[in-house]
A and B are shown apart, each in its own frame.
Chain A
Amino acid sequence: MNETTCHLDALAKGEGLFGRRAFVRVALGGVGLCYAAAIGYPVYRYLASPVEKAAALAAVTEVTLKDAEKLSPGSVLMFKFGPRPAMLIHHKDARWVALDAVCTHLGCTVQYQPERDVIHCACHGGEYDAYTGRNISGPPPRPLTAYRVKPTEGGIVVSRT
């Protein structure tokens, strides 16, 4: 508001868009912006440091779970895939399944219920299929991301599909 009135004043005085007053105004504004950037950029990078670290961690494509092949059938092992919680399920029929453990509804960590053989979210009652991660009831809008599982000698290798 003030800017435009001053500007109109300058025009009225015949100084025009390229008058001295306009030039000084633009030059001061430019210098001000430079200062703001010179302070703002380091502060932004400083604040963002842990975010960058987590993002680097999230870029992992494969995790080896040592001794996980000893997991008894009908039980679950929670582990971290990069910064995210994930679950390795050893089903009673001896099949191995690895799924992201973050509910697609509002981000709670889900749990495997072996007696019902489903994945349940305690926050809002969402449920997922324990083999495919498909959302079967409640509010979740999408299935849980499934990982590829490869049992090996020294452990179980979980990787992005």
Chain B
Amino acid sequence: MKQAAQSVCAWVDERLGVSEWVEFARHKAVPLHRHSAWYYWGGVSLFFFLVQAVTGVLLLLYYRPGPDAYESVRQITYEIHFGWLIRSAHSWSGNLMLAAIFVHMFSVFFMHAYRNPREFGWWSGVILLLATMIFGFSGYLLPMNVLAYFATKVGLEIPHALPVIGPKIAELVRGGLEVNEFTVQRFFALHVVVLPALFVPLLGFHLWLVQRHGNAWPPAEEAKPAAARKTIPFFPNFLMKDLAMWLIALNVLALLASLFPWDLGDPADPLKPAPPGIHPEWYYMSSFQVLKLFGQWFPGLAGEAVGMVLFTLGLVLWFLVPLYDTTQLAGRRARNTSYFGLFALAVLVATTIWGYAGLR
């Protein structure tokens, strides 16, 4: 019996090289220092993505895009057993995934972990964040309720403000002059086919880079001699801790999804005025507030255009940061980058709070 099992193992190993992976996992180590807690957030983001994939497929079993969209979500919420829970978990997990990605991104930024040789990890990560935000934007329309309708209407005003090509782009994305059932249909295609097809390979690339380069040491630790640095083995020690974090994430998600079930709202009706206090999801609140402020400071649509240009510029600088802050040692550029990160974080937090305060 034992011999048979061993020969099967050997047969598989000869063809797939499993023992190489085991060997790799055995030697992989994770830095241990007082900032180690930040290493878990990429894994937490991945966990919520997996939850999205599973709950998303489950919702796909009953969801119908097009003119029937609201009715099918109503059936999922009120008629299918535990449909409310699956839908609530999908909505909450999407929000938690974005929150985890933000924590992950800022921790990577402040640990300067994007430096050589990890530039591609940073670039793929920023694109994954943007893709996740588009996931959020497109998924938000799918129930076709009042909030979804106006959020999409307002969201598509942003490309509309671009000179010359803007209106054409907005019309093509919308599939008409107003948000309608064709918009739902194409956002559906984007949300469940196009985005996953782009996201999954990019995520694979991102994770492969993590395996290739390992976790980055923060600069303060890197300055120490190698003998003074501590690590823990990836397998099983770090993996167990990672799984413990996943368990905490699962519990948080279960509590939120079941105690605060996601609201269905009223069906979208183009003839009904927008409800008072309507606002975007929290991850768009900052850009919403910035556009609103610039809109007040400049006449006409010029404010929106200026706001958009500044936002895009900030994003480009954010993206290109590995090309500016290249040195391994603490220096002027490292300091400037940290200040830039603090400034970006402060602007995001302040405008988000400002946005919510302005609703009352």
Per-residue B-contact encoding for A85-129, CB less than 8 Å = 1, 0 else? 000000000000000000000000000000000000000000000
B100 in the interface (beta carbon within 8 A): no
A43 in the interface (beta carbon within 8 A): yes
Q: A residues near B, CB below 8 A?
A: 1, 35, 38, 42-43, 45-49, 52
Contact B82 A46, beta carbon cutoff 8 Å: yes
8 Å CB contact of A46 from B5, B83, B254: B83
Contact B61 A47, beta carbon cutoff 8 Å: yes
Interface of B is mostly: helix
Chain A residues lying within 8 Å of B86, measured Cβ to Cβ, are 42-43, 46
Interface of A is mostly: helix
A146 to B86, CA, bound (A): 43
8 Å CB contact of A1 from B5, B81, B85: B5
How many residue pairs, one in A and one in B, have C-beta atoms under 8 Å apart? 27
Chain A residues lying within 8 Å of B255, measured Cβ to Cβ, are none
Query: Taking the nearest CB of chain A, how far is it from the CB of B118, in angstroms?
Result: 35
A43 to B58, CA, bound (A): 8
A47 to B82, CA, bound (A): 9
Query: Nearest 7 CB-CB pairs, A to B?
Result: A42-B82, A45-B81, A49-B80, A46-B82, A49-B81, A45-B82, A42-B85
Chain A residues lying within 8 Å of B5, measured Cβ to Cβ, are 1
Query: Taking the nearest CB of chain B, how far is it from the CB of A43, in angstroms?
Result: 7
Please count how many residues in chain B sit with their CB below 8 Å of the partner chain's CB atoms: 13
Chain B residues lying within 8 Å of A46, measured Cβ to Cβ, are 58, 80-83, 86
A48 to B81, CA, bound (A): 8
Chain B residues lying within 8 Å of A1, measured Cβ to Cβ, are 2, 5
Chain A residues lying within 8 Å of B2, measured Cβ to Cβ, are 1
Q: Give B290-346 interface residues, CB cut-off 8 Å to A.
A: none
A38 to B318, CA, bound (A): 42
A45 to B80, CA, bound (A): 8
Query: Taking the nearest CB of chain B, how far is it from the CB of A1, in angstroms?
Result: 6
A12 to B86, CA, bound (A): 47
27 contacts between A and B (CB under 8 A): A1-B2, A1-B5, A35-B250, A38-B254, A42-B81, A42-B82, A42-B85, A42-B86, A43-B58, A43-B82, A43-B86, A45-B81, A45-B82, A46-B58, A46-B80, A46-B81, A46-B82, A46-B83, A46-B86, A47-B58, A47-B61, A48-B81, A49-B79, A49-B80, A49-B81, A49-B83, A52-B81
Besides A42-B82, A46-B58, 12 other CB < 8 A contacts?
A1-B2, A35-B250, A42-B81, A42-B85, A42-B86, A43-B82, A45-B81, A46-B80, A46-B81, A47-B58, A47-B61, A49-B80
Per-residue A-contact encoding for B75-89, CB less than 8 Å = 1, 0 else? 000011111011000
Chain B residues lying within 8 Å of A43, measured Cβ to Cβ, are 58, 82, 86
| Chain A residue, CB-CB nearest to B61 | A47
